[in-house]
Structure formats: structure tokens, C-alpha cells
């Protein structure tokens, strides 16, 4: 035995045959929104889209007769009529776009026969705005030929029915385009010839 060396013998380490500890994996299911939530999201999207289209879709203006007065009425030879009629029209723009109208045309008819008309100047109505137009229709010596027989009957009764039709034409300024618009309003009017007043009127879009 050599001096300085330990007498304790060394042996090689035995291989480690201990199996590794088992490993466990937790599998989580893929998250998917429920059908109810998806349907709700689709419905909300459709409603928002429909509301946007409805809000931005251009529509015709609304006309309303706020004042109609008879300033003059006279009959000549049972076939000629003098009428002076004053009318005030309200124009309401329901759109988000401005409205430029060229003119307002008001005509008067007696039993389907046009007696005459008047045309006013144009103007502009801002978005969601309201404007008013005054027009005076003066007819002197308007002939009622085909309906003269009915005119005599109405004179005997003391009431004369006639129809006023108000119409505007113009454009809506939608982005870089001008969309043509039109609005028409008819009013059935009954006039008392004794006191020359308007007894009743019924107006409706035409």
C-alpha cells in the first residue's frame, strides 16, 4: 500500500433507476360564447344599423297649412269668379340635411277645374328646421265653364267647396350630392258666401 493513500476502497455509484414523478396536465375547454349572447350581439348590431339608416335616410319635407283666409270673393254672370286667397304654409325639414326649395306653388280648383295658381320664391330650411311661407292668390274673372251648373247649385245652398293644392320642389344636400325632393298638400275647403268666411278645411298629403 502506498504511503499517503486512504485504505478505504471506493466503488462506483449505482445508476439511479428511480422513475420520475408522474406529471399531470389539466385540459381546459375552449371558451365559446353562449348562443344567447351571440344572438343578442347580432340583434343589437342589426338594430343599431337599422336605426342609423332610418336616421340618415332622406325623406320629403312636411307641409302644413297654418293659416288660410278668404280676403275676397265675387261672382260675375254666374260663370266668372273673383277670388283673393291668403295662405301661410309651414315647411318642416325632418332630415339631418339642409333643404333648398325652388318655389312654392299654390293652386285653387273648383270641382276638378283649375281656377288659377300663384308661385312664390324659393328658400332654404336648415336640418331639423322649420320655415314659413306666405302666399296670396288673386284671381280676377276666372271662368267656370264646365261646372257652371254646379256653381249655381252651390250658390243657392250658400256654400262653395274648392280645393287648394300646395307643392314645393327642391333638393337635399346629402354629402356631395343633391337629391331631388317634392312635397304636396291638398286641402278641401268649404266657403260660406254669405259672410265670405271659410267654414271648414281638411288637409292631407297628396
The domain ranges of the chain are: 62-205
Residue 92 pLDDT greater than 80, yes or no: yes
Please, what sign has the CA dihedral across residues 76, 78, 79, 81? positive
The whole-number average pLDDT for the span 4-26 is: 58
Q: What was the pLDDT predicted at 135?
A: 87
Q: What was the pLDDT predicted at 73?
A: 83
Residue 188 pLDDT greater than 90, yes or no: yes
Listed residue (112, 102, 104, 107) closest to 172, CA to CA: 102
Q: What was the pLDDT predicted at 38?
A: 73
The rounded percent of the chain whose pLDDT value lies above 90 is: 13
The model's confidence at residue 167, banded by pLDDT at 50, 70 and 90, is: very high
Residue scoring higher pLDDT (165 or 43): 165
Give the CATH superfamily of 62-205: Immunoglobulins (2.60.40.10)
Report pLDDT digits (tens) over 116-156.
888 888 888 888 899 998 888 888 877 776 777 888 888 88
Out of 105-119, 148-162, 165-179, 180-194, pick the least confident.
Answer: 165-179
Residue 33 pLDDT greater than 70, yes or no: no
CB neighbour class for 165 (10 Å; exposed up to 12, middle 13-18, buried from 19): middle
Q: What was the pLDDT predicted at 3?
A: 53
Listed residue (203, 155, 166, 143) closest to 86, CA to CA: 166
Residue 12 pLDDT greater than 60, yes or no: no
Amino acid at each position: 500500500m502506498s504511503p499517503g493513500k486512504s485504505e478505504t476502497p471506493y466503488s462506483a455509484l449505482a445508476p439511479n433507476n428511480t422513475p420520475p414523478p408522474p406529471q399531470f396536465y389539466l385540459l381546459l375547454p375552449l371558451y365559446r360564447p353562449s348562443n344567447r349572447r351571440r344572438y343578442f350581439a347580432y340583434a343589437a348590431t342589426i338594430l343599431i344599423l337599422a336605426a342609423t339608416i332610418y336616421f340618415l335616410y332622406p325623406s320629403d319635407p312636411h307641409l302644413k297649412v297654418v293659416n288660410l283666409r278668404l280676403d275676397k270673393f265675387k261672382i260675375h254672370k254666374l260663370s266668372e269668379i273673383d277670388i283673393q286667397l291668403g295662405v301661410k304654409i309651414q315647411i318642416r325639414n325632418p332630415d339631418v340635411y339642409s333643404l333648398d326649395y325652388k318655389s312654392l306653388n299654390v293652386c285653387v280648383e273648383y270641382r276638378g277645374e283649375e281656377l288659377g295658381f300663384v308661385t312664390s320664391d324659393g328658400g332654404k330650411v336648415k336640418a331639423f328646421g322649420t320655415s314659413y311661407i306666405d302666399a296670396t292668390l288673386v284671381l280676377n274673372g276666372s271662368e267656370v265653364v264646365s261646372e257652371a251648373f254646379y256653381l249655381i247649385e252651390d250658390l243657392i245652398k250658400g256654400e262653395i267647396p274648392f280645393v287648394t293644392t300646395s307643392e314645393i320642389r327642391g333638393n337635399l344636400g346629402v354629402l356631395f350630392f343633391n337629391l331631388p325632393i317634392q312635397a304636396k298638400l291638398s286641402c278641401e275647403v268649404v266657403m260660406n258666401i254669405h259672410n265670405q268666411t271659410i267654414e271648414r278645411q281638411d288637409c292631407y298629403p297628396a
